Structure 1
Amino acid sequence: MRHLSLLTALAALVAAPALAQDDWPSEPITFVVPYSPGGGFDEYARAVAPEMERILGTEVVIENIPGAGGQRGASTVYRADPDGYTIGIWNVPGLTVPQLMGQSSGYDLTDVTWIGNLATSRYALAVQPDSGYESLEDLCSMGEPFKHSDTGPASTSSVTARIAMSLIDCPIQNITGYKGSTDTIIGLMRGEVDATIKPIASLYNYAESGDVKMLMTLEDERSLPDVPTSTELGYEDFANFTLRRIVGGPPGIPAEIQQRLSDALIEAANSEAVQEWSESSNRPLDPVGYEEASAEMTELMDFYTQYKDVLAE
């Protein structure tokens, strides 16, 4: 009788995870944005969250956890229970830097449960319209490092700026401490810095209103008809630097829940409402699922490892 009771208890333990997954989701999902409200990562998360709610049948709550260049929010996601109820949007390659440098970041990107990549964004170099700078050469020949606005040394645009400028021996001084990409652009508008490298989508409206001027985009082919690409200007390597808005959760999320989250994210990104938002806000989308996102992360870690010396400076 005791033997039978033991078998029954073991069977219940084995069946419990399966039952839990069958019931998932049965409570709200927290979607962490590791920056203050109003920036690009926040906008992407808020765009897809309502559609994910509709698809999954449960509330998806945005929680902004800024600090340490995104590391505070990232580590919060990483330490969460692997039950699928906490996910976050990750800034890549920015959040790769602490790990590449062997710093204590509170997360390990090789263990994150990747869910999908919402967008791969391209960068542009912008200055004040009346700055007198007409080219990257103008900035590089100032006689002193040009000042570049950023949130912190681990931010993606900081990584891009430092590595890209090192490739052409252009001196740069990274002015950090801004709360988000919007603040870095406002810092440029105020004249606190000489230039900033930010996603094209983040700069677009400011350029349209005449508040900033884009000198070039870091692309192979033009996405803006009146702005030359870095490749056209002879900086072919610059097009390798991109920003990934990738969604992931803590290590150990069950495969079935990972699949459902990935499917919901992709369906949300491809929904009519989110596609309309993308077009009207000039925030491009090219969503991919968890398998491709996981492969991309492996490739990106390998790519940025070769620039460890630059990032350590």
Structure 2
Amino acid sequence: MFDRRLVMSVLASLALTLPIPSFAQTYPQKPITLVVPYAPGGATDIIGRVVAEEMSNSLGQRMVVENRAGAGGSVGAAAVARAQPDGYTLLLGALTSHSINMGLQAKPGFDLKKDLIPIGLAGNVGLALVVHPSVPAKTVPELVALIKASPDSYSYASSGQGSPQHLSGELFNIKAGTRMPVVQYRGSGPAMTDMVAGQVKLMFDTIPAVLQHVKAGSLRAIATTGLEPSPFMPEAPTAISQGLAGFEVSSWFGLLAPAGTPQAIVDKLNVELNKALRSSKVKEALALQGVDPKPSTPAEAVKRIDSEITKWGDLIRAAGLKAE
């Protein structure tokens, strides 16, 4: 039986044994397609375009963003997994969402660990736990006590089945020992509208999405979900620091290539990606989206992906979640 991954691996190994790796020295010789697996305008798209522009300047060839939305990011990821492993088709992966899809979708169309190889991390976006001002709790312990005392009075809003926002609520239930039901919305926008109106009382969402409402007083931030306080919402303590041990959620992003891409090209792209992430122009642009740049090695990106797949797979099984 034809095994594409085996053939690509053999070809890549042969390429690496060439006495003069001219393919890496001359790469790139034509424009590079960067697939963003979501519609234009979202965080992943904006990150992709900012990074692509900076890397284009450094590589000497255009990095052209192509949006391929669908199936929670799986359509675009599957397309890149099937592409030629020559460095000319790359993926701006939403690593947390793609890791969730691996455990939630029966047939995501790709294997994040076998069909794609990380070039490096791009950064992460922190989440925050926010409540409507009518909720009297101001800390995580106070909120947990309220929910347990009146379980029928609290549910949480989600921006969609299987989203990091949804899984944050499920993780909260497990860590806090609560049983809040989820109210699913088709996107963060509609969920936020009902949150501000008081139709639902609490929600996990990205810090950029909630920040303006917190500043306006229409929502109250109870906690952020990172290991450390967020530079974008420093006044909100982490959930972990408030006693919710092991509660850590961030939306991670990274650059990936099809399996079999020569290591010399991966290494070259990693250098250029990290250079872009350290530039003041890119830092300023990403800060507007609440993105904390995280330059890394390919090995560090592999470790992060492994961690995300394990974490969300365990949670999905523990919560008994299934794709719609």
TM value normalised by structure 2? 0.80
Change (3 A) 1:167 1:108: same
Count of paired positions: 297
Q: Does 1:207 align with 2:214?
A: yes
> Greater shift after overlay, 262-271 or 212-221?
212-221
Corresponding position of 1:198: 205
Aligned runs of 1:218-237 on 2, under 5 Å?
A: 218-223=225-230, 224-237=233-246
Aligned runs of 1:9-48 on 2, under 5 Å?
A: 19-48=22-51
Residue segments in structure 1 that go unaligned for 5+ positions in a row:
1-12
Shift of 1:127: 3.0
Shift of 1:198: 2.0
Corresponding position of 1:110: 113
| Amino acid paired to 1:30 | T
Task: Calculate the aligned-residue CA RMSD, in Å.
Answer: 2.8
Corresponding position of 2:11: none
Q: Does 1:99 align with 2:102?
A: yes
Q: Does 1:61 align with 2:69?
A: no
Change (3 A) 1:303 1:283: closer
Check conservation: 1:25, 1:58, Cα contact below 8 A: yes
Q: In the alignment, which of 143, 148, 159 is matched to residue 157 of structure 2?
A: 148
Shift of 1:26: 2.0
Q: Does 1:275 align with 2:283?
A: yes
Q: Deviations over 1:29-76 (max 9, x none)?
A: 121222222222122112211101001111111222222111112212
Aligned runs of 1:128-167 on 2, under 5 Å?
A: 128-129=132-133, 134=138, 136-137=143-144, 138=146, 141-143=150-152, 146-153=155-162, 155-167=163-175
Identical-residue share of aligned pairs (%): 26
How far apart, CA to CA, are the structure 1 residues paired with 2:260 and 2:197? 46
Shift of 1:235: 0.8
Q: Residue 214 of structure 1: SS of its match in structure 2? A: strand
Corresponding position of 1:172: 180
Corresponding position of 1:8: none
Q: In the alignment, which of 256, 262, 269 is matched to residue 270 of structure 2?
A: 262
Change (3 A) 1:204 1:102: closer
How far apart, CA to CA, are the structure 1 residues paired with 2:289 and 2:304? 26
Shift of 1:187: 5.2
Q: Deviations over 1:207-266 (max 9, x none)?
A: 33445332211244433343232123221221x333211221211111111111111111
How far apart, CA to CA, are the structure 1 residues paired with 2:304 and 2:35? 21
| Amino acid paired to 1:72 | V
How far apart, CA to CA, are the structure 1 residues paired with 2:289 and 2:316? 35
Corresponding position of 2:5: none
Shift of 1:286: 1.9
How far apart, CA to CA, are the structure 1 residues paired with 2:58 and 2:164? 31
How far apart, CA to CA, are the structure 2 residues paired with 1:89 and 1:231? 29
How far apart, CA to CA, are the structure 2 residues paired with 1:27 and 1:178? 39
Corresponding position of 1:3: none
How far apart, CA to CA, are the structure 2 residues paired with 1:46 and 1:129? 36
| Amino acid paired to 2:254 | I
Shift of 1:115: 0.8
Shift of 1:199: 2.6
Shift of 1:81: 1.6
Shift of 1:108: 0.6
How far apart, CA to CA, are the structure 1 residues paired with 2:241 and 2:197? 30
How far apart, CA to CA, are the structure 2 residues paired with 1:307 and 1:279? 30
| Amino acid paired to 1:248 | L
Check conservation: 2:229, 2:236, Cα contact below 8 A: yes
Residue segments in structure 2 that go unaligned for 5+ positions in a row:
1-13
Check conservation: 2:49, 2:65, Cα contact below 8 A: yes
